[in-house]
Chain A
Amino acid sequence: MRSPTAAVIAIATSLLVLISYFVPAGPVLAMRSLLLDWAVILAAVAGVIAILNMVGVHFRRVRDNQPLAPYSLIVVVTFVITLLAGLFFSPSDPQFRQVVTAIQVPVEASLLAVVSISLAYAALRFFQNRKGLMAVTFAISAVVFLLLASGILAGLAQVPVLGTLLAVLNRLPMAGARGILLGVAIGSLIAGLRIAIGAHRPYSG
């Protein structure tokens, strides 16, 4: 339902918070702090709702005995156990943290390790299918910076001319990175301004 009230709330909130960036007076900053405090609470509640929704999807999959139901059962059971244990013992309890870390760390590290194989394969497919100026520079740059990251060329940093060349090489990606950073920032600025003036209403208002 399109609600003008929601649009007014969004515009007023964004303008009040924006004003505090330009008028950094005590009461204005206190108002921004209060508004952002409520936003943090809402973001936390929204996060819990999102998690409950995800667990609800897995619960329905188990209830209706859909394909992959055994895996969804793992999600539901481990979620409930972790939630109850965390609320009972508190998340700072050393034993609770040890159990959570004992599952999270090996899985996260192993997933990152598997990424290296997937990346190598994806790069190979990319070079087979895409040929052009950007693909060639990407390939050369990837190989050069992999060599630099491996430390094989570290000894050359002491040699006068080669040391300067390595320093220049390390500066090369900075120019593109600044352009990409500025592009992302300009995009974010425009998206934020569109919400602040009510031109874009992703909250269905």
Chain B
Amino acid sequence: MEFPDLIWTILGILLTLMIFSYVWGDNPFFRTASYLFVGVTAGYVAVLLITQVILPRLAWPLLRTSTPTEKAIAAVGVVLALLLLTKLVRPLAWLGNLPMAYLTGAGAAVVIGGAVLGTIIPQTLDGITAFAPGGQLIDGLFMLIGTIATLAYFHFGARSRNGEPPGRGILVEGLSQAGKVFIGITLGALFAGVMAASLTALIERVDFLVTSLTQF
């Protein structure tokens, strides 16, 4: 093993053992490794944001050769960014509300578009397709019942009748009971997926430790 590879391997072994020490509870080794990770990752993300977005989209169009339109577009971005930076200065923080409002408005519109075009329409169309001629009717019916039952479980609207305590209707209550089964199955499958992924990571790390230590 060459010298630089040896250093990275030793670092990998140390960091792995420090994180694994968490099995015995929170301790200085685990904290050191996790704080080191936070510092490096924060620095790396800051570098990416500065070099991949802020410099090429804000600074370079203003400082380097570009058309007046590009300069004007970048200038608006600079103004918005400077207003946002006032969030760091308490007396001027209210000025930062303007770019935050802009960001929130744009984000809300993107979320609406994503929810409608990315989830609601495609999922609904997929549900309808099963009932088309040649579609899988039983599968479609099962999916439809499962979807409605799951949505009914999350329906918390209640109505009071004849002075009785507020409660859900019989139909919604029955569907929500079925919804519990469907949600339980889905969450169980998701749990199994996460568990399988983390077990794979555990096996990979143990294999790395054994392979590395036997090479010394």
Q: Which residues of A contact B (CB under 8 A)?
A: 1, 3, 5-7, 9-18, 21, 34-49, 51-55, 68, 71-72, 74-83, 86-87, 90-91, 98, 100, 102-117, 119-120, 123, 132-146, 148-150, 171-186, 188-189, 191-193, 195-196, 201-205
Contact = CB atoms under 8 A, between A and B. Distances in A.
A180 B80 CA distance: 37
Interface residues of A, dominant DSSP: helix
Given A141-B188, A175-B142, A196-B112, A87 B105 contact: no
Interface in B112-140: 112-120, 123-124, 127, 139
Contacts of A47: 45-46, 49
Interface string B45-86: 111111111100110000000000000010011001100110
B213 interface: no
Contacts of B149: 175, 179
Given A18-B109, A82-B47, A141 B189 contact: yes
Interface residues of B, dominant DSSP: helix
Contact of B109 (A14, A114, A132): A14
A145 B195 CA distance: 10
Contact of A179 (B34, B107, B139, B179): B179
Contacts of A189: 111-112, 115-116, 120
Q: Nearest 3 A-B pairs (CB), nearest first? A: A175-B146, A179-B150, A141-B188
Contact of A119 (B11, B151, B194, B206): B194
A115 B194 contact: yes
B210 interface: no
Contacts of A108: 37
B216 interface: no
Contacts of B197: 112
A34 B127 contact: no
25 contacts: A9-B98, A14-B106, A14-B112, A21-B113, A37-B73, A39-B106, A47-B45, A47-B46, A48-B50, A54-B42, A86-B46, A86-B47, A104-B44, A108-B37, A112-B202, A141-B185, A141-B192, A146-B195, A175-B145, A175-B147, A175-B182, A176-B187, A189-B112, A189-B116, A195-B104
A79 B94 CA distance: 29
A7 to B, nearest CB: 7
Given A42-B81, A106-B16, A113-B202, 19 more contacts: A3-B98, A9-B105, A14-B106, A39-B102, A44-B53, A77-B39, A82-B43, A87-B50, A91-B44, A102-B12, A104-B37, A110-B205, A136-B184, A138-B188, A142-B188, A148-B192, A149-B193, A179-B148, A189-B120
Nearest to B195: A119
Residue of A40, A91, A185 with highest tally of chain B CB at under 10 A: A185
B40 A103 contact: yes
Nearest to B87: A49
B120 A186 contact: yes
User: What is the interface residue range for chain B against chain A?
Assistant: 35 or more
A180 B152 CA distance: 11
A52 B49 CA distance: 12
Contacts of B23: 114, 117
Contacts of A3: 94, 97-98, 101
B97 A203 contact: yes
B180 A137 contact: yes
Residue of B15, B33, B127, B206 with highest tally of chain A CB at under 10 A: B15
A170 B110 CA distance: 33
Nearest to B142: A175
B24 to A, nearest CB: 11
B109 A192 contact: yes
A177 B35 CA distance: 36
A196 B108 contact: yes
Contacts of B44: 82, 86, 91, 100, 104
A45 B19 contact: no
Contacts of A48: 46, 49-50, 54
